[in-house]
């Protein structure tokens, strides 16, 4: 591909390159709090926290953490749903010099334990709903600091919880009591460099086993600056005082970090929080909110929202300004429906390893069916998927290899995978794409066997390994099959051990005990044998092709 060919398709006020500030991520909170101190930063079921209040509570918590012994470089986990406490803890850990480890509280014991052990985590912020998992884990791993909250603690009129009401272990801390007990709102005097790690975001890879992508302060600040510039063709018409977004994407997901928390700080925008996605709640929220500047979402949310009978009744097009989508391809019919409703739409591509940025459709000049063009300051090559070195000829499919300011520093404590994925700053993505004559890219296949269901990345080897733990299973393979709602869903093909019998229900129940809910197969098919290649490898692609043929 000809370098920078694509820049001529950028929206008129999007520059081909940016100057990135060298301040740490938390500086964005200080800017919003100084410029619009009395504006609501968060809105949770009618209760609001201003930017100034958010800043004050962040600094009080940061200084409390330092007094507890948190030092620069310490890894602190965040295992919470979307709530003000998540944002406060996120910026407090960064302000204290710590490294945030994003953790999905819906993960299982084994999944969370693996993350804790890999990162050498010293502390964790969590909420009451995750305590049944966190209690044994904290003891097994030997966490020094456990801070617990209840989401309703930041809702006006709700009874506030306490260490006693949550039955916290001796030596654990209650979130609100820790904040209230600290009066120090000075900015911690800690030196930061753009190259300092800020976030460890776990993702799968060629092995399917979780790896922690290390994202620096510089990576995150660059990603936010890029997304801000990319959306300016729409945002320029909305004064900062009126900017607000719906936060339904989980904050522990890299897209939720940039698209929600990051967007809010960059735009001094109010985040309307949804701790859990609920369709009726979302539609009611939209109906009550006259102006929603930005709604970062995934195809499953968008499909459910626009196909609901209430969608036309509440006139969604009059409420939403810009709808973003990532994590999986959007059907053409749905994109056209969004545009016909008068809503601007942006679909893009990114990874945990790129802080969710990289390639995106220009808002005013999208090509439906493509993932867009490389964003400012990115270089992209399409290389031969087999040798990973030679660039393919124009129009031919090749693996996306990307280089730019948001590409991760490394995988935490995993030099082998780092060396395999990252070479001279170029990140091998595993996604196969084709470029058209204008430089717009379209995904045609995945080098890896990754399944994208409901916007979540699922690596089939993870599912395979759990299936193999079942005492009646001899062989198993999990594949992604088309699903009209989730994009893809998981089907497991199983060969039972000689003389054994099992039901689909039995297998699925076993998986629910070992895997996060979205990773559990939805279908099980029992087979007499699992086909393999001549080299003895399971022919996963054959199963996928077989299922695809059924849909035709």
pLDDT tens for each residue of 46-64: 999 999 999 999 999 999 9
- Give the pLDDT score at 444: 79
- Give the pLDDT score at 429: 93
pLDDT tens for each residue of 406-443: 999 999 999 999 999 999 999 999 888 999 999 999 88
DSSP H stretches of helix in 351-425: 415-421
Residue 525: closest CA among 498, 504, 502: 504
Joined together, the tokens standing for residue 14 give 């999007």
* Furthest CA-CA distance within the chain: 71
- Give the pLDDT score at 124: 98
Structure letter (DSSP) for residue 375? P
**For the chain, what's the residue count?**
552
**String of DSSP letters for 240-309:** GGG-EEEE-S-TTSHHHIIIIIIHHHHHTPEEEE-SS--HHHHHHHHHH-S-EEEEEE-HHHHHHHHTST
- Give the pLDDT score at 207: 47
Half-sphere exposure of 138 toward its Cβ, with a 13 Å CA cutoff? 25
- Give the pLDDT score at 537: 55
**Residue 129 and residue 149: Cα distance in Å, rounded?**
9
Cα end-to-end span (Å), the chain: 34
The CA-atom distances, in angstroms, between 448 and each of 140, 207, 420, 429 are 33, 9, 14, 9
The answer to whether 256 and 249 have CB atoms below 8 angstroms apart is yes
Joined together, the tokens standing for residue 67 give 């007094």
Judged by DSSP in three states, 422 sits in strand
Pairing of strands 197-203, 211-216: antiparallel
The answer to whether 149 and 175 have CB atoms below 8 angstroms apart is yes
Contacts of 334 by beta carbon, 8 Å cutoff, 6+ apart? 299, 302, 303, 306
Residue 403: closest CA among 199, 207, 219: 219
Residue 270: closest CA among 25, 53, 27, 61: 53
Phi and psi (nearest 5°) for 452? -115, 105
Residue 379: closest CA among 407, 350, 354, 404: 404
**Residue 404 and residue 49: Cα distance in Å, rounded?**
35
**String of DSSP letters for 133-173:** HHHHHHHHHT-SEEEEE-GGGGSTTSPPP-TTTTTPPTT-E
**Residue 489 and residue 397: Cα distance in Å, rounded?**
25
- Give the pLDDT score at 299: 81
**Residue 400 and residue 112: Cα distance in Å, rounded?**
30
**Residue 64 and residue 488: Cα distance in Å, rounded?**
44
- Give the pLDDT score at 208: 54
Task: Give the H or E element holding residue 493.
Answer: strand 487-496
pLDDT values of the chain reduced to their tens digit, one per residue, 552 residues: 444 888 999 999 999 999 999 999 999 999 999 999 999 999 999 999 999 999 999 999 999 999 999 999 999 999 999 999 999 999 999 999 999 999 999 888 998 999 999 999 999 999 999 999 999 999 999 999 999 999 999 999 999 999 999 999 999 999 999 999 999 999 999 999 999 999 999 985 444 568 999 999 999 999 999 999 999 999 999 999 999 999 999 999 999 999 999 999 999 999 999 999 999 999 999 999 999 999 999 887 888 888 888 888 999 999 999 999 887 667 777 888 898 999 999 888 999 999 999 999 999 999 887 899 999 999 999 998 877 789 999 888 899 999 999 999 999 999 999 999 999 999 999 888 999 999 999 887 666 677 888 778 787 877 887 898 899 998 888 999 888 777 889 999 998 988 999 999 999 999 999 999 889 999 999 999 888 643 345 677 788 888 877 876
The answer to whether 293 and 235 have CB atoms below 8 angstroms apart is yes
- Give the pLDDT score at 206: 42
The CA-atom distances, in angstroms, between 151 and each of 50, 108, 156, 276, 552 are 17, 21, 11, 11, 46
The answer to whether 453 and 488 have CB atoms below 8 angstroms apart is yes
- Give the pLDDT score at 532: 63
Structure letter (DSSP) for residue 519? G
- Give the pLDDT score at 487: 81
Using a 10 angstrom Cβ sphere, with 0-12 exposed, 13-18 middle and 19 or more buried, the burial of residue 444 is exposed
Phi and psi (nearest 5°) for 346? -135, 125
Residue 377: closest CA among 69, 78, 14, 30: 14
**Long-range CB contact pairs, 329-333, < 8 A, 24+:** 329/299, 329/443, 329/487, 330/299, 330/302, 331/299, 331/303, 332/368, 332/369
DSSP H stretches of helix in 166-236: 175-180, 217-230, 232-235
Structural domains in the chain plus CATH codes: 1-24+216-448 (3.40.50.12780), 51-191 (3.40.50.980), 451-551 (3.30.300.30)
- Give the pLDDT score at 486: 79
């Amino acid at each position: 591909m000809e370098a920078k060919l694509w820049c001529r398709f950028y929206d008129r006020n999007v520059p081909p390159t940016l100057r990135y500030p060298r301040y740490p991520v938390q500086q964005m909170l200080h800017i919003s709090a100084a410029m619009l101190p009395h504006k609501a930063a968060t809105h949770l079921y009618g209760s609001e926290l201003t930017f100034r209040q958010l800043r004050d509570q962040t600094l009080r918590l940061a200084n409390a953490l330092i007094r507890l012994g948190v030092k620069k470089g310490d890894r602190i986990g965040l295992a919470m749903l979307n709530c003000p406490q998540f944002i406060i803890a996120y910026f407090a850990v960064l302000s204290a010099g710590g490294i945030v480890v994003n953790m999905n509280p819906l993960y299982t014991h084994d999944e969370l334990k693996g993350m804790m052990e890999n990162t050498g985590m010293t502390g964790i912020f969590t909420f009451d709903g995750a305590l049944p998992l966190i209690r044994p884990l904290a003891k097994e791993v030997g966490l020094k600091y456990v801070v617990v909250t209840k989401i309703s603690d930041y809702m006006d009129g709700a009874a506030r919880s306490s260490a006693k009401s949550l039955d916290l272990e001796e030596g654990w801390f209650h979130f609100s009591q820790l904040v209230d007990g600290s009066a120090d709102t000075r900015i911690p005097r800690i030196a930061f460099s753009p190259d300092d790690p800020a976030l460890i975001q776990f993702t799968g890879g060629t092995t399917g086993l979780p790896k922690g992508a290390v994202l620096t302060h510089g990576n995150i600040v660059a990603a936010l600056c890029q997304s801000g510039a990319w959306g300016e063709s729409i945002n320029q018409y909305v004064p900062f005082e009126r900017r607000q977004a719906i936060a339904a994407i989980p904050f522990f997901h890299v897209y939720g970090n940039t698209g929600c928390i990051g967007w809010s700080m960059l735009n001094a925008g109010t985040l309307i929080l949804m701790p859990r996605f609920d369709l009726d709640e979302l539609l009611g929220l939209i109906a009550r909110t006259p102006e929603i500047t930005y709604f970062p979402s995934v195809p499953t949310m968008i499909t459910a929202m626009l196909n609901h009978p209430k969608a036309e009744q509440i006139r969604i097009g009059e409420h939403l300004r810009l709808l973003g989508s990532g994590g999986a391809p959007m059907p053409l019919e749905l994109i056209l429906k969004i545009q016909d409703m008068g809503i601007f739409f942006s679909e893009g591509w990114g990874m945990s390893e790129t802080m969710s940025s990289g390639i995106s459709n220009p808002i005013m000049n999208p090509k439906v069916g493509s993932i867009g063009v490389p964003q400012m300051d990115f270089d992209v090559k399409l290389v031969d998927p087999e040798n990973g070195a030679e660039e393919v000829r124009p129009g031919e499919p090749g693996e996306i290899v990307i280089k730019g300011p948001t590409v991760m520093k490394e995988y935490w404590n995993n030099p082998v995978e780092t060396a395999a994925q990252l070479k001279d700053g170029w990140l091998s993505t595993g996604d196969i794409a084709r470029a058209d004559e204008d430089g717009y890219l379209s995904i045609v296949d995945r080098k890896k066997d990754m399944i994208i269901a409901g916007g979540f990345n699922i690596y089939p080897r993870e599912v395979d390994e759990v299936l193999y733990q079942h005492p009646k299973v001899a062989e198993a393979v999990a594949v992604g099959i088309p699903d009209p709602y989730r994009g893809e869903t998981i089907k497991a093909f199983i060969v039972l051990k000689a003389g054994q019998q099992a039901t689909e229900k039995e297998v699925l129940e076993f998986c629910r005990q070992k895997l996060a809910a979205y990773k559990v197969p939805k279908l099980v098919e029992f087979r007499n044998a699992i086909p393999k290649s001549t080299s003895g490898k399971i022919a996963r692609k054959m199963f996928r092709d077989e299922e695809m043929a059924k849909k035709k």
